[in-house]
Amino acid sequence: MFIPADHIVNVSIIIPITGQACYLIPITAMLKIPQCQFFFVGHHKQRRFIFDGISIGMATAAVGLDTANAIQIENIKSKINDLTKMLSYLHPCDITKTTGHR
């Protein structure tokens, strides 16, 4: 049974972030975090571009693997269907006549 709450409770979460994860957050937030200041030394746009390139490459690889897996799954399904059809044509044999065990 659902009982509505009488008041709203705000919950705050602190997530520790290291310098290697700075590219995950917006640039305005990066300006406020001391660990992310190395992005703005020298060519910060070039560093962001490198991370963007890595992200695009990983996404492309994921799509390629997904496509390959989908093709393999379809091939396996067709082989299972062929095997099922082949087995449906076979007649059951009496094992007791060939082995002598009952």
3-class SS letters over 33-86: CHHHHHHHCCCHHHHHHHHHHHHHHHHHHHHHHHHHHHHHHHHHHHHHHHHHHH
Query: pLDDT category, 28, cuts 50, 70, 90?
Result: confident
Question: pTM of this prediction?
Answer: 0.40
Whole-number pLDDT of residue 52? 78
Backbone angles phi, psi at 15, to 5 degrees: -115, 115
Residue with the two structure tokens 């094992």: 95
- Rounded-to-integer distance, Cα 89 and Cα 93, Å: 12
Q: pLDDT tens, 1-11?
A: 666 667 666 77
Query: pLDDT category, 34, cuts 50, 70, 90?
Result: confident
For range 53-61, the mean pLDDT: 87
For range 81-88, the mean pLDDT: 84
- Rounded-to-integer distance, Cα 57 and Cα 64, Å: 11
Nearest to residue 38, comparing CAs of 17, 20, 56? Answer: 20
Residue 100 tokens, joined = 């002598």
Q: Where are the domains of the chain?
A: 19-45
